[in-house]
Amino acid sequence: MKESDMNYKNKIWFDAPASCWEQVHPIGNGNLGAMIWGTEEEKLGLNLDTLWSGVARDTNNYHAKEYLKPVRQEIFAANYAKAAEMIEQHLLGEFGENYLPMGNLRICPAEDDNGQKVKNEERLQDYQRVLDLDAGVVTVSYKKGDASYEREYFASYPDHLIGIRYTSSHKMNLMFSFESELFHVTEQLPDGVRMRGQCPEHVEPSYLESDEPVIWGTQGIRFVTELHVIRTDGTVVSDKKGFGIYHASYCELSLQSVSGSRKNPLKVKNIAKVKKSYRELKAAHKKDYRTLFRRVKVELGKTKEIPTDQRLKLLKEGKEDPDLYALFFQYGRYLLIASSREGTEAANLQGIWNWEMRAPWSSNYTTNINVEMNYWPAQICNLSECMEPYFSLLKDLAQNGAKTAQVHFGCRGFCVGHNTDFWRITNPVGVSYGKSEGVKGSSLYAFFVLSGQWMCQELWKAYEYKKDLEFLKEFAYPILKEAVLFTIDWLVEYKGRYMTCPSASPENQFRTESGISSISMGCTMDMSIVREIFTNFEKAYLELKKYKCLSDTMSKDGEKILAEIEERREKLLPYQIGADGRLMEWIYPFEETEPGHRHISHAYGLFPGEEFRRDGKLKEACKKSIEYRLSHGGGHTGWSCAWIANLFAVLGDGEQVYFYMKTLLTRSICDNMWTSHPPFQIDANFAGTMAMAQMFVQELDGDVKILPAIPKEWKEGSVSGLCLHGNKTIDIEWKDQNITYKIRHTRLKS
């Protein structure tokens, strides 16, 4: 493709191959992913969403319940450091498992007819590597000598495969082979190559020292990956390592992969032979993908016709580029479509794109912010179908979490610790593999047991957007019920007030005379989640009752639960506001060990919650707390910066939202526009997309705000297709102070 021929809108592109993982172009169909380097000797980093270390086993701690009361007694006595130590020793279970890379597909120039390695020292000319967000297709094109080359890659959801096409103006010889750090063997096929492999039985998190971090065995998940030639005008020749295609001007291939499941990790289905032509596969992919992607359009200015990494560099130098933010917004939507589709696993800390055996934070599901953050933009950005894997994960956690609730805490309902994985562990983690006590200091992050209640936030939101009574009755309400039962039982009464105990504000700690601790009682975030789950259960029950969807048994059961809620709600610990007007993070005005901490957990009630928005006093106190945290260096990680942008959006401060969005795009972003903690975490891509959506439109209690947080830098623009409650979408255009909008009604479900 000539540069002069390219339409640059909605394209992330480079004029050179990737030199590191953070420059690759990712493609995916929710299940199967690839990272494309675009080097002459191509390397496609491959991922399958079900390739995890581990086996199904019970990681709950069956002695935990014995120590819950003693821990509470230490907290009531203000022995917070002692309580934290006891939690580490007695209340935790084992760490979860790791999401693993499948390996790489190598595509290299092959030997010539005389068995000699083809040597061509000429440099690549007119190079372009493009991710077209509108098509979900990556292309690579260049010239070398008097030959021109083009490549094309896409990941198809309808056909569950990756499509690959190579073309050249001269005849080419190519060699295809697999490599993997997983246990694997390769087999020759008449028209391709097969890789059979198996995952290890355990991998320790990267942040833990271990003499044997990877434990192999025979019970890990098995998988099969196949690469087949669909069509070529060349000759296909098998090789020990793979196969070659010789004297070809083009070749079209399909890559497919399947694995065992949670229930049957060793049983792998056969891969069905592709019957469609490459052209048909590509057409089906684009039709399916565009059905989702094209629902929302954003215009913020003219697209600069220079490579994306250069645009990011200019932004860092202070050059304005409004369209770059629109590109970032749509890239977030692209990544969600590519990493979360019906029937796949939920998007993890890296979506589906991981290249390390011991990835940062195991590339799993951190449920004290990150997995929720991944799905913040799904519903407002018209990608409700992408919520299905999240809801499937939540359903599984509700089932497994019932055991944890009973075994660890003697409670009804279900709970989820701060971390989970493919195997759906729900216990508070912190214990190394084969050990009996938690890692020293693990209470800092390990004890947050209301993650499941937080995840339930999306259930009521889904009903608000779609008004699907069947979804509310059959799926959402049963999970909300179990979540609220745990919440009721988890509360303890202390000095006439109900509160959570033990309680931690995620990954933050304080200092008292007894030492440094993260453990106390009634943390603000906990109390916000408690109030929210009470309210959402009540709303769901009353909605189902209103439309006569409840049986007599369900109605009586619900009324009983509502009575329990009301008895506790009246005596819930109130929020604390300090002498300086700040909303307090903990029950008492403890000394903060890190005033600029990356988590802003006590702001939960402002966003992603809504409670503080309805109370001017709490809203103002929360704002002061945010400003205090930022004045001490807060927001220094990618996802934290994106959360701050969302908080300022709901505060209606467009200039501050813009400042933190710009900070995100100049300080916490990779060349390929993946966001970075650092290292790479995908959550800020999704949270940043959500922040921009909230700059365009917000909705609370039936009140729709149009452009509530647009900065002066975006003088004109348009957005169409964002969702409102009740199966509606909105289109907005603005120029200076002139705003026009149109609300569209879609089909309501009865």
CATH code, domain with 261: 2.70.98.50
- Binned at pLDDT 50, 70 and 90, residue 5 comes out as low
In a domain, 317, yes or no: no
Using the 3D structure, point to which of 581, 596, 615 is the last residue of a domain: 581
Q: Which of 597, 579, 713 is nearest to 658 (CA)?
A: 713
CA 92 remoteness from chain centre: 25
In a domain, 729, yes or no: no
Counting residues of the chain whose pLDDT is more than 70, the rounded percentage is: 97
Mean pLDDT of 588-609: 96
Phi/psi region, residue 633 (left: phi>0; alpha: psi -120 to 50; beta: rest), is left
CA 131 remoteness from chain centre: 20
Report whether pLDDT(4) > 70: no
In a domain, 438, yes or no: yes
- State the pLDDT at residue 300: 98
Cα 195 from Cα 229, distance rounded (Å): 15
In a domain, 701, yes or no: no
Report whether pLDDT(236) > 60: yes
Mean pLDDT of 175-202: 97
- State the pLDDT at residue 700: 97
- State the pLDDT at residue 746: 80
Does residue 48 sit in the same domain as residue 70? no
- State the pLDDT at residue 749: 45
550 lies in which domain range?
60-93+364-581
Over the stretch 255-308, which tens digit does the pLDDT of each residue have?
999 999 999 999 999 999 999 999 999 999 999 999 999 999 999 999 999 999
- As to burial, measured by CB atoms within 10 angstroms (0-12 exposed, 13-18 middle, 19+ buried), residue 351 is buried
Q: Is 219 helix (H, G, I), strand (E, B) or coil?
A: coil
Over the stretch 384-401, which tens digit does the pLDDT of each residue have?
999 999 999 999 999 999
Sign of CA dihedral 271, 273, 279, 280: negative
Q: Is 677 helix (H, G, I), strand (E, B) or coil?
A: coil
- Binned at pLDDT 50, 70 and 90, residue 122 comes out as confident
Report whether pLDDT(750) > 50: no
Instruction: Output the six-digit token pair for 706.
Output: 């149009």
DSSP 460-522: HHHHHHH--HHHIIIIIHHHHHHHHHHHHHHEEEETTEEEESSEE-TT--EEETTEEESEES-
Does residue 76 sit in the same domain as residue 156? no
In a domain, 682, yes or no: no
Does residue 162 sit in the same domain as residue 89? no
Mean pLDDT of 120-130: 87
- State the pLDDT at residue 121: 62
In a domain, 495, yes or no: yes
Over the stretch 25-68, which tens digit does the pLDDT of each residue have?
999 999 999 999 999 999 999 999 999 999 999 999 999 999 99
CATH number, domain at 438?
1.50.10.10
Does residue 27 sit in the same domain as residue 136? yes
Report whether pLDDT(713) > 50: yes
Phi, psi of 700 (to 5 degrees): -150, 120
Q: Which of 159, 125, 152, 121 is nearest to 136 (CA)?
A: 152
Over the stretch 420-476, which tens digit does the pLDDT of each residue have?
999 999 999 999 999 999 999 999 999 999 999 999 999 999 999 999 999 999 999
- State the pLDDT at residue 241: 87
Cα 504 from Cα 295, distance rounded (Å): 40
CA angle 30, 34, 38 (to 5 degrees): 145
Does residue 134 sit in the same domain as residue 232? yes
Does residue 67 sit in the same domain as residue 144? no
In a domain, 607, yes or no: no
Amino acid at 471: F
Using the 3D structure, point to which of 258, 275, 293 is the last residue of a domain: 293
In a domain, 733, yes or no: no
Using the 3D structure, point to which of 293, 322, 351 is the last residue of a domain: 293
